[in-house]
Amino acid sequence: MRPSIWIATDLDGTFLNLEDFKGERSAALLPELRRAGVPVVFATSKPAVEALTLQKRYGLDDPFIVENGAAVYYSESFLKSRNIVLEAEKRGVYRVQRLGPSREKLLTAFQEVREKNALPLLTLDSLPLEELSSLLEIPVDVLSLTKQREHDIPFFTLNRSDEYEALLSEEFSYRGYRVQRGNRFYHLTGDYDKAKALSLLFTTLGLVRGEIWLVALGDSGNDLEMLNMADLPVIVSRPDGEVDERLLKGAARALRTNSSGSDGWSEAVKALLPLFGA
């Protein structure tokens, strides 16, 4: 029997452009994927409120993963279409499985590490929205959604050296947490990632990995576990044509796009459409 095909994709820098957060080229392929019966799972560092907005914008009803794997959302209509009854937290028309600790616990650990080591770490709540928008080159309306998190502390620092990152990782892992590095932020999270959330999603839906074929697309370090989990991993290049060094080292078998962002996503998926039967 031919395996069913699923796509799991990062958003910023992958499905969406990193510069303007637009995804028209990617979205243009969604109808073909829908006709081919290929679910598209957003697996993002974004919070639920932002991911829900994008689900509606692009007309998706497939499950999605938020805050780097902290929670998996399933619409009631999607579950009903598969005759699945999921006894999980109800949130509007969604059922939610949470893997992450509360934001309050993470914030306590963050403050302890910052004060103990006198580190110049800033959270998204450290500065006014307008100032953050200018500093991070993110529109105010996007940033206001990005801040609405439940399980994840995004933070940033001007020092992004490997040594500095190792210190952060050691300090937070001692407390039972992880530091994941995205395009613009570091993320303080629980002991989970996008791959663990995908595994939970497949188990919940009764899908066996040998019976499905997973395509994963990403562009930064917090996508590494997801790419290594995939049957076909795809690294989407950055706007400067380079590729995240962590992915080059850690996901050596992955394919690499020539284009970046939505163009790169479109480039990869177009090449795979015959495989999908689309």
**For residue range 250-274, what is the model confidence (pLDDT) as tens digits?**
998 999 999 999 999 999 999 998 8
Q: What is the pTM of this model?
A: 0.87
Could you tell me the CA-to-CA distances from 35 to 31, 38, 43, 60, 209 in Å, in that order?
6, 8, 21, 13, 22
Rounded to whole angstroms, the Cα distance separating 216 from 213 reads 10
Last residue of a domain, one of 189, 205, 222: 189
Last residue of a domain, one of 189, 216, 231: 189
93 & 199 share domain: yes
Q: Give the pLDDT band (50/70/90) at residue 74.
A: very high
175 & 200 share domain: no
149 & 196 share domain: no
Residue 54, Cβ density class (10 Å: 0-12 exposed, 13-18 middle, ≥19 buried): buried
What CATH number is given to the structural domain containing 231? 3.40.50.1000
Rounded to whole angstroms, the Cα distance separating 132 from 140 reads 8
Rounded to whole angstroms, the Cα distance separating 263 from 120 reads 36
Query: Do 197 and 65 contact (CB within 8 A), yes or no?
Result: yes
Res. 1: pLDDT tops 60: no
